[in-house]
Amino acid sequence: MEPNKTNIPPAGNKNPTPPIKKGPKFNLYWIYGLFAVALIALNFWDKGMSHNAKEADFQTINKKFISKNLVDSMVVFGKTVDVYLKKDSLKSDRYKDLLASFKGNEKGPHYAFTIGNIEQFRADLDKAQKDFSIDQSIKVSYEEDNKNGWLGFFLQIVLPLIFIVGLWVLIMRKMGGGASGGGPGGIFNIGKSKAQLYDKGAKVNITFNDVAGLDEAKGEVMEIVDFLKNPKKYTALGGKIPRGCLLVGPPGTGKTLLAKAMAGEAQVPFFSMSGSDFVEMFVGVGASRVRDLFKQAREKSPCIIFIDEIDAIGRARGKNQMMSNDERENTLNQMLVEMDGFSGDSGIIVLAATNRPDVLDVALLRPGRFDRQISIDIPDLAGREAIFKVHLKGIKTSTDLDVHKLAAQTPGFAGADIANVCNEAALIAARKGKTEVNLDDFNDAVDRIIGGLEKKNKIIRPDEKKVIAYHEAGHAVSGWFLEHAYPLVKVTIVPRGDAALGYAQYLPKEKYLTLREELEDRMAMALGGRAVEELVFGKISTGALSDLQQVTKMAYAMVSVYGMNDKIGNVSFYDPQSEGSFQKPYSEETGKIIDDEVRKLSDHAYTRVKRLLTERMHEVKVIAEELLLKEVLYKDDLERLIGKRPFDEVVFEDTPSVNGATTNHETNDEQAAVNPEIITPNN
């Protein structure tokens, strides 16, 4: 007979673990069910022990039994009276029908009555005995209400008490997070720290090898670990170990990822907590959790405390008295004291991350608390290439994929954006049934992230489609022949997203400084679409909304921020601390001058681009007709149609851009009127 293969233990396992039999899980509703059954049983028990007692008073009992000389004794307890009859009364035929329903025992038949007022019954009984209206031989005794015996005592007193105690213990365990009551959500642990501890033996899957494009920041963080491991190396020369380090940078640049890698690499205890974990609805909980966090850290010293999004509790105090929060400020005060107070501790380094350093309290940023600020910026070309290599490890890519070209096409992309591009490219390739991901999939992924979801099924009338094609051709031609405009990557009239009916994508030059001439050319290029509409059709549409927003933003920045206007002069009215303030840092007269100068800049840019497009109208028509035919044109197509770009592209050193490749959208006027912010282009 062939053995049962399912019972053969795996190779190398001499003592196979027997399967664990899972019993039924405990449920809180079981207690309610048991209690309900107990109440029902108690109800029937009372009925059985009371023998269907009827309500009566002393006069009724006296009339029916005592006056007829049938009573042998009476036992009074609680509100019940048991009337025991004489044994010889059974011989009387006169009372056979009455006695037929009586219960019998060694004392004889008896009958139970329920009395409404026991005091009144006792008074009437005593009075009758004194007045000799009843036979003195009747024995009357008063007993405690224990007629149910031990079972009645258990059902009435012990069982409810057990239920209440059991329910209380269960609730305490639930609120305490377990049998030990040590869970973070316990009612007795509400002031305890919620920090996660990664000790020396803890396994963290992220290491410094997973962090790319942040070489300088990585070196700073690794040095912090060295401070704790080899303190004498630094204190021997009279130096002091830093108390805190603040990671500052835009969202998605890898601040939290760097902290996770630090937890995975550090050989010291690592406490991780979010700034919002200190906030609670109860007063004083935030400060209590700060105290408990540092108390645990002292016990584990030397160690590292990481607080993510510290601006949740570290906002500047007293900035706005109308929106003040005493509880948050108390939490911040406790944090300040713990980091550098009278009881200053050595061996504890606080690592924090935020993308809003401008809102943090000054006392938190001073030396002695956060001694160092590590800036984590958007990666440059080399950094993006390294990040792409990290995220492409788990993706099956084609052998001819050029990672350097991918990095060059994604200026301004943060680490999280690059991870999203890689994931989207893999999903797009899988959707197309491919066995590997190639460059076209990555290009589609970039378009998907920048412009939104492609909507080829969107029905557009032929006359509107022609306007859109000429509008995008105007952007393409103006950017092609303006010296300081961004180089074109692609132009399309395929609708994307919620409002974009077409867009032109450019590749910004990554450089540290921007000249006035460059801003003026960008404004002219943004207005090229509207200029073509007026020149070709003699009408303008609402499709230039995002273009006008770009122009207005750049013009106001030139006049009021960068001091690029002769009339306003070398003055900047930009103050990051006054964001959200209702007061402007200039007078009404100056505000009027600023508005006039902005309008002049916009009119000048529009006049320039109209003149240029009038001269290049042939190129505009060629590109527009090709767009109507193919719907998508790339840089190579423009070189084939209108020749190479006349200006040599100067290669600058890489510098972060704000939001990636620039796009100019032809917009749906109906949706723009309802929700204009959704079509704001990425600059």
Closest CA to 308 of 248, 391, 240: 248
In the annotation, is 472 catalytic?
A: yes
Q: Taking each helix axis as running N to C, give the angle between helix 588-615 and helix 545-560, from 0 to 180 degrees, rounded to the nearest 10.
A: 130
- Return the residue matching tokens 């007063």: 283
* Options 329, 472, 533, 626, the catalytic residue: 472
Alpha helices (runs of H) in 210-273, residue ranges in sequence order: 215-229, 232-235, 255-265
Find out whether 506 and 635 touch, Cβ atoms under 8 Å.
Answer: no
Find out whether 673 and 512 touch, Cβ atoms under 8 Å.
Answer: no
CA pair distance 216, 374, nearest whole angstrom: 9
CA pair distance 258, 601, nearest whole angstrom: 44
* Alpha carbon 69 to chain centroid, angstroms: 85
Q: 217-221 long-range CB contacts below 8 Å, 24 or more apart?
A: 217/247, 217/258, 217/374, 217/375, 217/376, 218/258, 218/261, 220/245, 220/372, 220/374, 221/245, 221/258, 221/261, 221/262, 221/351, 221/374
Q: Take residue 459 and report the two structure tokens written for it.
A: 């029905």
- Return the residue matching tokens 């020749």: 643
Q: Which residues contact 99 (CB under 8 A, 6 or more apart)?
A: 85, 89, 90, 109
| H and E: helices and strands count for the chain | 24, 15
DSSP labels for 534-600? Answer: HHHHS---GGGHHHHHHHHHHHHHHHHTS---TTT-S-----GGGTT-SS-SS-HHHHHHHHHHHHH
DSSP state of 496: B
Q: Take residue 40 and report the two structure tokens written for it.
A: 């029902």
Find out whether 677 and 498 touch, Cβ atoms under 8 Å.
Answer: no
Closest CA to 55 of 128, 134, 111: 111
The 3-state DSSP composition of the chain as helix, strand, coil percent (nearest 5) reads 50, 10, 40
CA pair distance 335, 313, nearest whole angstrom: 9
DSSP labels for 354-372? Answer: ES-GGGB-HHHHSTTTS-E
Calculate the dihedral angle through the C-alpha atoms of 655, 660, 666, 667, rounding to the nearest 10 degrees: -130
3-class secondary-structure state, position 44: helix
Calculate the dihedral angle through the C-alpha atoms of 387, 390, 393, 394, rounding to the nearest 10 degrees: -90
Q: What angle do CA 607, 610, 615 make, to 5 degrees?
A: 130
Catalytic positions are 472
